[in-house]
Structure 1
Amino acid sequence: MTDAEHTTPAAPITQDVMTIPRKVPEGLPNIIGLTRDALREALVAIGTPEKQARMRVNQVWAWLYHWGVRDFDKMTNLAKDFRATLAANFIIALPEVVSKQVSSDGTRKYLVRIAGGHEVEVVYIPETDRGTLCISSQVGCTLTCSFCHTGTQKLVRNLTAGEIVGQIMLARDDLGEWPEPGTRKYDPRLLSNVVLMGMGEPLYNFEGVRDAMKIAMDNEGISLSRRRITLSTSGVVPEIARAATEIGCLLAVSFHATTDEVRDKLVPINKRWNIETLLNTLREYPRLSNSERITFEYVMLKDVNDSDADARRLVKLIQGIPAKINLIPFNEWPGSPYERSDWARIESFAEIIYKAGYASPIRTPRGEDIMAACGQLKSATERARKSRKQIAAEAGLD
């Protein structure tokens, strides 16, 4: 079956520059990204009486994260003098959407500018039963996974909690799904799922990701269930148990190989925490986080990791871990040293896994025509211009 048969034709590619104003005064702290506890402390610091602070947090929180209001003066259940105090001490700032591209399959890719002029990419994938937003946690990436386009871009910095949750908020702006002030319903829920699978390794920006997800999961605001949030890691073993207890969302692991020899090349973090060490840690995650299962992400690379023997090893390795295996046809990018596995090979691999008792969905490539598919994200302004030969050499494939 071809990729064309796995996609839904839609409108042609379009590109536009968003016009939502984001310019704000410099120097004041951003109120977006403060957790409830941090917001309470900040309000007390500007003179809010202790006895009123909790109530004020609830009020401000609802305006920011339930109704999406960006102007303190529009927070009409607050006294005018308190609104003025807020405006004098804080700003409400989201990352700036520089441009938006829309794929032929309806996928939207946003180029987003953050403080310092750096840029990241955010992708919204609409489906019949849900809408998934793929968000970034770093500018560039700490890791150098050889099959990933983002991995060829050096790490610039971690995103703040405000810049991370701000990606969810700006997507909701574009989708027009903030409820009207005074209402409580989301109808319809266009952005129902969030995956931390964009640029960066989320567990190398633990505090920023944790605080942003606490805001996103809060029932009085954006109100995403922790089972609607998936954090993808390449295997930062010391932070996995911490993620289970402090975030508690679903976990996906960029696995991609069944031997240390191959995984060392594809996912170099494996040299620090090998397959055995990673799997021993993962066995505890469902219990600690009260999650049903772990998703193992497995990119299908022609003649690299796609043999029937690999499929059988994979099943044996994860035995005893509640899991599903998400098979990802490789999304090619300029200079990539790899090719996508043939479709028949992918289906044969999936069949072995399925017969062993594991769900083995083959991910439909989405947004390839705008470089928005898995592994393709890379900020144009931060792009490191490497040749195919350089990339192959770094991956140990020359």
Structure 2
Amino acid sequence: MSAPRRGKPPRHFVDLSAAERGEAMAQAGQPAFRAKQLATHYFSHLTTDPADMSDLPAAGRDELVGTLFPPLLAPIRTLTADAGTTVKTLWRLHDGVKVESVLMRYPGRATLCVSSQVGCGMACPFCATGQLGLTRNMSAAEIVEQVRLAARALARGEIAGGPGRLSNLVFMGMGEPMANYAAVLAAVRAFIAPQPEGFGVSARNVTVSTVGLVPAIDKLAAEGLPVTLALSLHAPDDALRRELVPITTRWTVDEALDAAKRYYDATARRVSIEYALIRDMNDQGWRADMLAEKLTARGRGWVHVNPIPLNPTPGSIWTASEPAVEAEFVDRLRARGIPTTIRDTRGSDIDGACGQLAAEEGP
């Protein structure tokens, strides 16, 4: 049997505009209001099973649903940690490629880390996904399907802790979200649109991360969506950052931070600075001081720093900082008045770094 051809996913209901959904109904010989019924089943009832859609006429129901909701993701492996409250899933897409998502349940909230690309083209050497290279962008529907399936698992009580609701979404899975801007933005709009046209998640609970693609940051700032921006900085000096994040040869640290500050000015949403602490590489005290100086030079109250203990990948020379070094780095930032919180690194015992499962499975 030949391998499926990699390429554009089949057209899905989520990928259609309101007008296109109306046209799809007309082509199927259905009244326009059927589109709202389908949206209700997908975004509110979290189902694509025609057997659940008893308000649709039986005649032609299976064909209509099958046409508009083609299967996009199939689970390959599911690993759990933290007494079942952290669930990592490796998905196979329509063309056989693989992506990962991680559902993390906390008291009072549940967060899904979603992927936006198959692999990543940013080539950060300490990142498992970066070492895979970029295969292709994901469609808006492929991104959104990760969310529907996680929300369904929570609603059905399949995650430890009983039935619950998905409250937070972060684009910190595989890929550089800003390099797949149109699909990511369409997915974000589906996340935050009120039911039944979307999941009804608060825009303030959606985080879009980037390594610092400056034009895309400015473009997002102009969208009028109060989502949180997370800038993966990883170094305050250009020489080291070019080594850790090769794409940043196009934009300096100062240019990335200026764009992040413009985002804050436009949205009033405090920016998160992501900083993976790597032993003997970027965790020196003087680099904490340099980072603090650059952030405070742009004002107060606009930024929050998240140092991340590196989740090393097998065979990598990159590893996490010593606890004492990590503590000093955090203390130096806080001493300069910068809100700083160590990122919770869940799932380290289940290949928590995005890309590890996909790399293990192979093509």
TM-score (norm 2): 0.87
Question: Which deviates the most, 188-197 or 37-46?
Answer: 37-46
Cα deviation, 1:144-171, whole Å, max 9, x if unaligned, reads 1111111110111111111100011122
Question: Aligned partners of 1:243, 1:44: CA distance in 2, in Å?
Answer: 34
Partner of 1:301: 278
Question: Aligned partners of 1:377, 1:314: CA distance in 2, in Å?
Answer: 33
Partner of 1:90: 68
SS class of match (1:65)? helix
Work out whether 1:224 is the aligned partner of 2:201: yes
Question: Aligned partners of 1:228, 1:121: CA distance in 2, in Å?
Answer: 20
- Residue 74 of structure 1 and its aligned partner are, at CA, apart by 3.4
1:339-354 matches, within 5 Å, as 339-354=319-334
Question: Which residue identity is paired with 1:174?
Answer: A
Work out whether 1:30 is the aligned partner of 2:12: yes
Work out whether 1:277 is the aligned partner of 2:255: yes
Question: Aligned partners of 2:92, 2:54: CA distance in 1, in Å?
Answer: 31
Partner of 2:22: 40
Question: Aligned partners of 2:66, 2:309: CA distance in 1, in Å?
Answer: 51
Aligned residues: 344
Partner of 2:308: 328
Partner of 1:130: 109
> 64, 69, 74: which is aligned to 2:42?
64
Question: Aligned partners of 1:334, 1:88: CA distance in 2, in Å?
Answer: 41
Partner of 2:214: 237
Question: Aligned partners of 1:151, 1:297: CA distance in 2, in Å?
Answer: 16
8 Å contact kept, 2:100–2:173: yes
- Residue 256 of structure 1 and its aligned partner are, at CA, apart by 0.4
Work out whether 1:115 is the aligned partner of 2:94: yes
Partner of 2:317: 337
SS class of match (1:380)? helix
8 Å contact kept, 1:98–1:111: yes
8 Å contact kept, 1:105–1:366: no
Cα deviation, 1:185-220, whole Å, max 9, x if unaligned, reads xx9544211110011001111111111121121211
| Structure 2 residue ranges without an equivalent (≥5) | 1-8
- Residue 373 of structure 1 and its aligned partner are, at CA, apart by 3.8
Partner of 2:294: 317
- Residue 310 of structure 1 and its aligned partner are, at CA, apart by 0.7
Question: Which deviates the most, 147-156 or 39-48?
Answer: 39-48
1:349-388 matches, within 5 Å, as 349-373=329-353, 378-382=358-362
TM-score (norm 1): 0.80
SS class of match (2:361)? coil
% of aligned pairs identical?
35
8 Å contact kept, 1:121–1:379: no
Question: Which deviates the most, 371-380 or 91-100?
Answer: 371-380
Partner of 1:191: 166
> 244, 261, 264: which is aligned to 1:286?
264
SS class of match (2:275)? strand
Question: Aligned partners of 1:73, 1:105: CA distance in 2, in Å?
Answer: 33
- Residue 79 of structure 1 and its aligned partner are, at CA, apart by 4.1
Q: Give the 3 Å change call, closer, same or farther, for CA 177–345 of structure 1 in structure 2.
A: same
Question: Aligned partners of 1:88, 1:352: CA distance in 2, in Å?
Answer: 57
- Residue 47 of structure 1 and its aligned partner are, at CA, apart by 4.6
Q: Give the 3 Å change call, closer, same or farther, for CA 341–206 of structure 1 in structure 2.
A: same
| Structure 1 residue ranges without an equivalent (≥5) | 1-26, 179-186, 384-398
8 Å contact kept, 2:90–2:357: no
Work out whether 1:202 is the aligned partner of 2:177: yes
Partner of 2:6: none
Partner of 2:4: none
Partner of 1:11: none
8 Å contact kept, 1:145–1:267: yes
SS class of match (2:312)? coil
> 254, 270, 291: which is aligned to 2:232?
254
Question: Aligned partners of 2:63, 2:128: CA distance in 1, in Å?
Answer: 45
Partner of 1:169: 148
